[in-house]
Structure 1
Amino acid sequence: MRAYFAFTKKELTEYTRNFKLFLAITLFALFGIMNPLTAKFLPDLLANFMPKGITILIAEPTNLDSWMQFFKNGTQTGLFLIVILLSGMMAKEYEKGTLINMVTKGLPRRTILFAKFTGALLLWTVSYWLCFFITWGYTLYYFPDGTTENLALAVVSLYLFGILLIAVLLLGAVLFKNAYGPLLFTGAFLMVLFLWNLFPKASEWNPLVLASRNMDMLQRALLLADLQKALLTAALLTVSALLAAVKIFKKTGL
């Protein structure tokens, strides 16, 4: 355990030195501020920029519009950003050969991978929940009368999907000793999830629903009972990706 905590500390230190932690926190904090601001003032901006003589009817913004922006930025930009930042989590280690000395001195390979996963998970956790709490605070400020049901389910679902992507990205980082391979591998995984939805009877098992139907969760069109199969699949895929990464890493050269 001591080696695990030491290597995890090393990962977090590197995230600080290469500014990945600063970049992730800054951008996710910016998202958190922009989500409610966009919902609040976008109708006024659209009205001001419309040509004279053209009138559009826009409903009064609500707190749901703020959370719509949160999930839009979280899935389209936030997850993409995290995957980009973490795509080279193993590439530099392979390039510099820093893992050779550690392994020859007795550091278990699974410890290296679990420490890598923990560091990446902490980066995602801090960034994501910072964005959430900032959005939550500003949403309460701008829309004090709004009520949001099932918010915890919607937010946690997207967070869990992010954990799944990190596990898949780590597996890709073990399979390919560069920064591009893991990106392509994760993209291929997402493509499989999208194709999965072509089969209606199997779509309820698709973990993609955790990141694509969050607004349905807020509007109670999708409840926890409806997500049990998708959550189970996400858990199994996460564990399977981690176990596969450990097994492959034990056999691969450094």
Structure 2
Amino acid sequence: MRAYWAFTKKELMESAATYRLLILVCIFLLFGVMNPLIAKMTPQLVKEFMPAGMQMVLPEPSAVDSWMQFFKNVGQIGLAVLAILFSGMIAGEIQKGTLVLMVTKGLSRTTVLCSKFTVSVLLWTVSYVFCVGITYGYTVYFWNADEIKNLMPALLGVWLFGVLLLASDLLGSVLSKSSYTSLLFTGGLVAVMFLVNIVPKVQKYNPIRLVSEPSGLISGSLKLSGFYTAFAVTGGMILMFLLLSVLVFRKKQL
């Protein structure tokens, strides 16, 4: 356990030194400010750039629009940034040769994986909480948020999908010696999810629902009970990826 905490501390310090933490927090803080502001200003911008003489009745922006903007920005750009930043969790250590030295001195490979995954989830969680908090504050300031439904489950779904991407990055990094291959592995996983989602009978099991349909949850057009299976499958995939990472990494030649 002492080795786990020591390696985790080392990973946290390295994340700060390499500006990974700073980049992640800054991007999600920016999203937190942008989400409600874009929802607030969009109707005005549309009117400004509308051709002369043309009239269009636009609905007044609401708290729902702010959170829809949140799920659009974070669920697409934010998660892509997350996957890119952590794509070389193990591959980078192998390429630098630092991991070989630590393992030969008795550091458990399982400890390495657990520490890497813990730090990545921690940084993702901190950045995500900042983004949610800022979006929530501005949304409550501009609008009445009483109309929002199932906000916490919708937010939890996006966070859980982010953890799934991190677990996929970890497995991809273990399977290869390149961060690019790891990123392709995660990108391929997401692409398969989108393709499988075409089949109606499979949709309720697909983790991609957690990031593609949260707007339906907060608007009330979709029921929360329809997402329970997707939550369970996502959790199961995370555990499976972590287990596979441990099994593969134990036999991997460094």
TM-score w.r.t. length of structure 1 = 0.97
Measured in 2, the distance between the counterparts of 1:71 and 1:237 equals 22
Indicate the residue corresponding to 1:159 in structure 2.
159
Q: How many residue pairs end up in the alignment?
A: 254
Q: Is the 8 A contact 1:62 1:146 kept in 2?
A: no
Q: Cα RMSD between the aligned structures?
A: 1.1
User: Which residue in the other structure is 1:53 paired with?
Assistant: 53
Return the letter of the residue paired with 1:206.
Answer: N
Partner Cα distance (2:201, 2:146) in 1: 36
Cross-structure match for 2:38: 38
- What is the CA–CA distance in structure 2 between the aligned matches of 1:223 and 1:98, rounded to whole Å? 49
Aligned to 2:209: 209
Moved more, 52-61 or 72-81: 52-61
Look up the match of 2:11: 11
Identity among equivalent positions (%) equals: 47
Where structure 2 has 5 or more consecutive residues not aligned to the other structure, the ranges are none
DSSP 3-state at the match of 2:200? coil
Question: 1: CA distance between counterparts of 2:57 and 2:146?
Answer: 21
Partner of 1:176: 176
Look up the match of 2:222. Answer: 222
> Residue 79 of structure 1 aligns with which residue?
79
Give the structure 2 partner of residue 119 of structure 1: 119
User: Would you identify which runs of 4 or more consecutive aligned residues in structure 1 move more than 4 Å?
Assistant: none
CA distance in 2, matches of 1:145, 1:238: 33
Cα distance in structure 1, aligned partners of 2:35 and 2:239: 33
Following superposition, the deviation at residue 199 of structure 1 comes to 2.1
Distance in 2 (CA, whole Å) between partners of 1:130 and 1:10 is 23
Q: Kindly indicate whether the alpha-carbon contact (under 8 Å) linking 1:36 and 1:135 is maintained by their aligned counterparts in 2.
A: yes
User: Is the CA contact (8 Å cut-off) linking 2:88 and 2:169 kept in structure 1?
Assistant: no
Distance 2:250 2:216 in 1: 42
Matched, 1:90 2:90: yes
CA displacement 1:98-136 (0-9 Å, x = unmatched)? 011211111110100010000110111011111000000
Q: Which amino acid aligns with 2:47?
A: A
Distance 2:39 2:219 in 1: 17
2:202 & 2:96 partners in 1: Cα distance? 44
Deviations 1:60-84 (A, max 9, x none): 0000000011000011111001111
User: Would the aligned equivalents of 1:75 and 1:211 in 2 still touch at CA under 8 Å?
Assistant: yes
Aligned partner of residue 202 in structure 1, secondary structure: helix
Q: Which whole-Å CA distance do the structure 1 matches of 2:46 and 2:224 have between them?
A: 37
Tell me the distance in 2 between the aligned counterparts of 1:144 and 1:222.
Answer: 21
Tell me how far apart the structure 2 counterparts of residues 119 and 112 of structure 1 sit (CA, whole Å). Answer: 11
> In 2, distance between residues paired with 1:85 and 1:156?
21
Task: Quote the offset at 1:162 in angstroms.
Answer: 0.7
2:240 aligns to what SS in structure 1?
Answer: helix
**Paired amino acid for 1:3:** A
Shift in alpha-carbon separation, 1:124–1:41, aligned structure 2, 3 A: same
